[in-house]
Structure 1
Amino acid sequence: MSPILFYGVPEGCSLASIVALEWSGEPYHLCRIEMPEVVSSEDYGRINAIGETPSLMLGDGRVISESMAILNHIASGHIRKGLGFQQGSAEFDRLNQMLAYLNTSFFNAFSPLWYTIEHELEPDARKALTAYGVAKVEKVHRELEQLLAGRKWLLGKAPSLADAYFAGIARWNDFHNVVDRKQFPALNSLYERLQENQAVRFALAIEHEEPAESTGGFRGHVTLEDAIGYLKHAA
């Protein structure tokens, strides 16, 4: 059985893992997980005990969760394709440094805004939390503009898995309507460039259930029920 990626919709950061699998060229399947209904279900809890996406089920039944872990797993098997780097090398450290920044700072900046959508709040509390979230999102946009330092891609001259992760998170700005991305020319240029990437376009089409043409190894969707069956068989 080819690996199965469990991706969350709508607007999941798991888009990055779809892009990474497309870039790898290796065969894989997808399992669509609706949020918050299915992701918090008992059935999906058999795949991911804390009820989050993405998760990647490998052919031997092992399951990897957390975007950084999944992206690094994919990268480690495709160093020759430029998706990853030898552990201990300067390039390896730079990739993980950027992934860590995106995960801890860029991703988390949107957490207050997601909370206002997902929870019932008093008007004053909602207003305060929204203002806090907007300030955090503005801050990380300024920081990432500096980190780009005029480069075309986050790590330099070629796209990396850090760019794939950025693509999955950066669109949240449009969902929450926070900043005008054009205020940050390098960041905006990166975002627009990624929107034209074939793997990103494929992942977005998959999320929106639109016609999607894989340039990688996509082998179709499987149901959550079937995936659980594969897991039991592997055990």
Structure 2
Amino acid sequence: MHPILFYGVPEGCSFGAIVALEWSGLPYQLCRIDMPAVVSSEAYRRINAVAETPSLRTAEGRQVNQSMAILHHIGAHSPGSGLVPPQGTPGFDRFNEVLAFLNTDFFESFSPLWYAMEHGLEGGEQRTLTAMGHHKVRKVHADLENMLGSNPWLAGTQRSAADAYFMGIARWSDFHQVLDRRDFPALHALHERLKAEPAVHFAHAVEHGEAARSTGAFIGHVALRDVLESTTTMA
């Protein structure tokens, strides 16, 4: 049995988990979950009770939810990939610090913009939330620019799962047209470096339903219905 990543489209933060799986070299499958229709369905709640993506069905058949937990799981099962530094090292502490910032402050800064768009707000409410979102997004970019410093990658001198996760969220500033990333030179350089990664090209193509060539060990897609049927059969 191979791991199955349930990823949300469009513009899901599960993008980073796809990139991490490509970098890991682990064999895996993908299950496409349309948002908001399928992700909020009773069928998908059998996979993830809180109706969120990403979610990972492990090779042992266990379910792992939340991006941070999924990225740590992938790293632990591919120790040679460098996705997660060894526990107890300064690199591991740095990695967790950056990943936690991305998963909380960086992710949350876009919430006002998503809320305004998804709820079709207009007038004063829309302007207020948009202004709040732009302020928060610029602030976290400035903070992350300082955290990055002169390092080529977020966790130091080697790419990690934190960089994969960053790429999945950073593109939201383009989607919402918040800022010019060139105002943050270190982050802009990181973003351009990641854009050139074959795994990033693959994740982008997969999200858009385009023909994609894996540079990892992607086995193929599986339908949610088939996953649920196989789960029932094994029970």
Q: TM-score range by the shorter chain?
A: over 0.9
Moved beyond 3 Å, runs of 4+ = none
Instruction: Flag structure 2 segments of 5+ consecutive residues without an equivalent.
Output: none
**Superposition CA RMSD, Å:** 1.1
Question: How far apart, in 1, do the equivalents of 2:105 and 2:209 lie?
Answer: 30
Number of paired residues? 235
Output the amino acid matched with 1:51: A
8 A Cα contact 1:112 1:130, kept in partner: yes
Identify the residue that residue 48 of structure 2 maps to in structure 1: 48
Q: Secondary structure at the match of 2:56?
A: strand
Identify the residue that residue 74 of structure 1 maps to in structure 2: 74
Identify the residue that residue 118 of structure 2 maps to in structure 1: 118
Question: How far apart, in 2, do the equivalents of 1:211 and 1:120 lie?
Answer: 33
Q: Residues 175-234 of structure 1: CA distance to partner in whole angstroms, max 9, x if unpaired?
A: 000011111111011111101101111000100111111011100000000111232234
What is the deviation of 1:90? 1.5
Identify the residue that residue 23 of structure 1 maps to in structure 2: 23
What is the deviation of 1:147? 0.8
Question: How far apart, in 2, do the equivalents of 1:137 and 1:187 lie?
Answer: 13
8 A Cα contact 1:76 1:85, kept in partner: no
Identify the residue that residue 155 of structure 1 maps to in structure 2: 155
Question: How far apart, in 2, do the equivalents of 1:177 and 1:129 lie?
Answer: 14
Question: How far apart, in 2, do the equivalents of 1:163 and 1:213 lie?
Answer: 21
Question: How far apart, in 1, do the equivalents of 2:206 and 2:120 lie?
Answer: 31
Q: 1:230 to 1:93 in 2, by over 3 A?
A: farther
Aligned-pair identity in percent equals 58
TM-score using structure 1 length: 0.97
Instruction: Flag structure 1 segments of 5+ consecutive residues without an equivalent.
Output: none
Q: Secondary structure at the match of 2:201?
A: helix
Q: Secondary structure at the match of 1:150?
A: coil
**Does structure 1 residue 214 correspond to structure 2 residue 214?**
yes
Output the amino acid matched with 2:138: E
Question: How far apart, in 2, do the equivalents of 1:156 and 1:90 lie?
Answer: 10
